[in-house]
């Protein structure tokens, strides 16, 4: 993953865009996990949420070069 994204003359690092995408994808995922009651089995919810965010970010960063030419 390299380069910047041009948003109407403002250059934004592509990692920042991936971080935003991981956060936005993580919101409904965390809501679904709370709805099905998975958080009752988790010892430390904020730590679990951080690990989930890192996994989502890693997946997006890995797939980003294949999606964006």
Digitized pLDDT (tens) for each residue of the chain, 69 residues in all: 457 777 888 888 888 889 999 999 999 999 999 999 999 999 999 999 999 999 999 999 998 776 665
Q: What is the largest CA-CA distance in the chain?
A: 47
Residue 68: what pLDDT?
60
The domains of the chain are located at: 4-67
| Spatial distance between the Cα atoms of 5 and 26, rounded to a whole number of angstroms | 22
Regarding pTM above 0.85, the answer is no
Element (H, E) at 10: strand 10-13
Q: What is the pLDDT of residue 1?
A: 46
Number of Cβ within 10 Å of residue 22's Cβ equals 19
């Amino acid at each position: 993953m390299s380069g910047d994204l041009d948003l109407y003359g403002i250059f934004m690092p592509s990692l920042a865009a991936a971080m935003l995408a991981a956060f936005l994808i993580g919101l409904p995922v965390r809501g679904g996990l709370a709805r099905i009651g998975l958080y009752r089995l988790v010892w430390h919810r904020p730590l679990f949420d951080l690990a989930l965010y890192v996994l989502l970010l890693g997946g997006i960063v890995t797939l980003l070069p294949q999606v964006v030419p």
